[in-house]
Structure 1
């Protein structure tokens, strides 16, 4: 069994990761998820999107990319949150 050729395209960068971030935040607010469960939910959403939408033709490739969607969303959210917290607490360096 050969591993599929997986191309990263505009879907991955512009739509999938932000979609996972958005859906994770909505689910967090609607179901009042504790912070400890949010990363697992993000990976699960990434896997669902990848398997059902973006890589339907090959399950192994879909699983591979689904993890990237989920963990990309987790990392992006953490980076944005850390940057905003730093800017808010250290305003004297930005004036």
Structure 2
């Protein structure tokens, strides 16, 4: 029976590189391919899961998947909060 949460060890990759790398890749893909905003979260999730599962946590699937969704959510939060802050500043 699965009663315990997985142990997720964070490292320097998680703290300093995971979210910024996802953020930069998503912005580059957005600018190069001129994607509509509705595709950004999908691209962020795919990139973040790939980075997390294959680079950051290659030996721990549950940690890789969890941290991949964390990277994706954090990167998209930065993009959308910056966009809304810009709109609020322009409106003022």
TM-score, structure 2 as length reference? 0.85
Gaps of 5+ in 2: none
RMSD of the TM alignment (CA)? 1.7
Q: In 1, Cα distance between the equivalents of 2:51 and 2:14?
A: 11
Gaps of 5+ in 1: 91-95
Equivalent position of 1:53 in the other structure: 55
Q: In 2, Cα distance between the equivalents of 1:69 and 1:15?
A: 10
Q: In 2, Cα distance between the equivalents of 1:60 and 1:88?
A: 42
Q: In 2, Cα distance between the equivalents of 1:88 and 1:12?
A: 34
State the secondary structure of the residue aligned to 1:4.
Answer: coil
2:43 to 41, 44, 67: 41
Give the number of equivalent residue pairs. Answer: 90
Shift of 1:10: 4.1
